[in-house]
């Protein structure tokens, strides 16, 4: 386990299991400084001369562009491979060879891939740090870090909160990573999903063995009044083999004004985005709607992580 920020230098970021409260505090402190830096000066030259390879085998808007912005605001440069269909991957190149290629040009590799464990495989072959930007239905650790940072910034505490996670808890990798990361704190969980989209057994088991209080329900209205954090998610259409099943469950939970009328006055609504109907646009003006601020926090967290991995934090 890595506990100080210095010990992240040269490391990979593959799973939230690598973090504890001390390292989270350190990263959040740096991310907060990055925010101040960006707001005052637009950035700094901390990573001048460094190059990041941004390798995305799955679609992305926020994760990809916030890594790019993070690197560029710290004075570094980016090799963007967002269209692997135009790279040698489409000629049949293996992941290890693609990784060996990129690390001969870059100092750090960010990878998103449809297979669970792909980032770990990349890290096995790479000497340079590898960051998991989503491995299929597995993990999305940097999203969980920015999610938790958002809770800390918005509510000024994490201990004592009730976190209500809603939607596709089965395939949503952001839910898997955030749930595990939250086990470092004294929180209560409410998991709201249709029966077929409940948390995977391994994540549920981690919650159970940790002794945190939790419940699994199918009705959002009955629990909304307890929420300090309402974490909405998209039903992950691309993970379904049977699209009729997807159609059946996709509109189960919608956060709208009627729902928010039953919520606490001091609470936040989060979403990793993209939203595809589960949060009404009418909520965007509600001060409790934190999802756009959350998205912006992604850049500060990724600036902090890049600085830490490249030994400049
Ligand atoms: C998420 C992802 O890719 O897992 N998006 C993101 O990184 N912000 C969530 C999603 O696609 O639903």
* Distance of CA 273 from the midpoint of ligand 1 (Å): 6
Contacts 24+ apart (CB under 8 A), 285-294: 286/260, 288/260, 288/263, 290/150, 290/154, 293/150, 293/153, 293/154, 294/146, 294/147, 294/150, 294/270
User: Quick one: CA dihedral 176, 177, 180, 182, positive or negative?
Assistant: negative
Q: What is the pLDDT of residue 3?
A: 57
What is the spatial distance between Cα 152 and Cα 142, in angstroms, rounded to a whole number?
15
Please give the CATH number for the structural domain made up of 16-139+296-310: 3.40.50.1370
**H helices present in 59-167, as ranges:** 62-73, 95-103, 118-125, 141-155
Q: What is the pLDDT of residue 180?
A: 98
What is the spatial distance between Cα 244 and Cα 247, in angstroms, rounded to a whole number?
5
Question: In which residue ranges of the chain is CATH 3.40.50.1370 found?
Answer: 16-139+296-310, 141-294
Asked whether 64 lines ligand 1 (CB < 6 A), one says no
Q: Whose CA is nearest to atom 1 of ligand 1?
A: 272
Q: Whose CA is nearest to atom 8 of ligand 1?
A: 272
Asked whether 239 lines ligand 1 (CB < 6 A), one says no
Written as tens digits, the pLDDT of the chain (313 aa) is 545 778 899 999 999 999 999 999 999 999 999 999 999 999 999 999 999 999 999 999 999 999 999 999 999 999 999 888 878 888 889 999 999 999 999 999 999 999 999 999 999 999 999 999 999 999 999 999 999 999 999 999 999 999 999 999 999 999 999 999 999 999 999 999 999 999 999 999 999 999 999 999 999 999 999 999 999 999 999 999 999 999 999 999 999 999 999 999 999 999 999 999 999 999 999 999 999 999 999 999 999 999 999 999 8
Nearest-atom index, ligand 1, CA of 234: 12
Nearest-atom index, ligand 1, CA of 112: 3
- Tens-place pLDDT, residues 253-290: 999 999 999 999 999 999 999 999 999 999 999 999 99
Instruction: Enumerate the known binding-site residues for carbamoyl phosphate.
Output: 62-63, 112, 140, 143, 273-274
CA 178 to the chain's CA centroid = 7
Asked whether 113 lines ligand 1 (CB < 6 A), one says no
* Distance of CA 174 from the midpoint of ligand 1 (Å): 7
Mutate which of 174, 179, 298 for ligand 1? The one with the most ligand atoms within 8 Å of its CB, which is 174
Asked whether 297 lines ligand 1 (CB < 6 A), one says no
Mean of per-residue pLDDT scores for the chain: 96
Non-local CB neighbours of 286 within 8 Å, separated by 6+ positions: 260, 269
Asked whether 275 lines ligand 1 (CB < 6 A), one says no
CATH architecture of 141-294: 3-Layer(aba) Sandwich (3.40)
Q: Whole-structure pTM over 0.85, yes or no?
A: yes
């Amino acid at each position: 386990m890595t506990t100080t920020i210095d010990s992240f230098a040269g490391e990979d970021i593959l799973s939230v299991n690598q973090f504890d409260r001390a390292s989270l505090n350190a990263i959040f402190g740096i991310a907060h400084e990055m925010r101040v830096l960006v707001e005052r000066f637009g950035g700094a030259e901390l990573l001048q001369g460094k190059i990041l390879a941004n390798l995305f085998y799955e679609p992305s808007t926020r994760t990809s562009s916030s890594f790019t912005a993070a690197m560029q605001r710290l004075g570094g440069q980016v090799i963007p491979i967002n269209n692997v269909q135009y790279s040698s991957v489409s000629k049949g190149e293996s992941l290890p060879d693609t990784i060996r290629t990129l690390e001969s040009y870059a100092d750090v590799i960010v990878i998103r891939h449809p297979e669970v464990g792909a980032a770990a495989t990349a890290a096995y072959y790479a000497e340079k740090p590898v960051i998991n930007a989503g491995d299929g239905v597995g993990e999305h650790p940097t999203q969980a870090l920015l999610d938790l940072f958002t809770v800390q910034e918005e509510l000024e505490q994490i201990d004592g909160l009730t976190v209500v996670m809603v939607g596709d808890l089965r395939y949503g990798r952001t839910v898997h990573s955030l749930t595990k990361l939250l086990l470092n704190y004294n929180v209560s969980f409410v998991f709201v999903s249709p029966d077929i989209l409940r948390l995977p057994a391994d994540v549920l088991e981690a919650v159970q063995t940790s002794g945190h209080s939790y419940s699994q329900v199918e009705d959002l209205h009955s629990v909304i009044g307890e929420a300090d954090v309402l974490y909405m998610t998209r039903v992950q259409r691309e993970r379904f083999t049977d699209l009729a099943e997807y159609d059946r469950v996709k509109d189960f939970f919608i956060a709208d004004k009627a729902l928010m009328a039953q919520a606490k006055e001091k609470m936040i609504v989060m979403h990793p985005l993209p939203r595809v109907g589960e949060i009404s646009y009418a909520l965007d003006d509600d001060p409790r709607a934190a999802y756009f601020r959350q998205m912006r926090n992604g850049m500060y967290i990724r600036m902090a992580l890049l600085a830490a991995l490249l030994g400049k934090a």
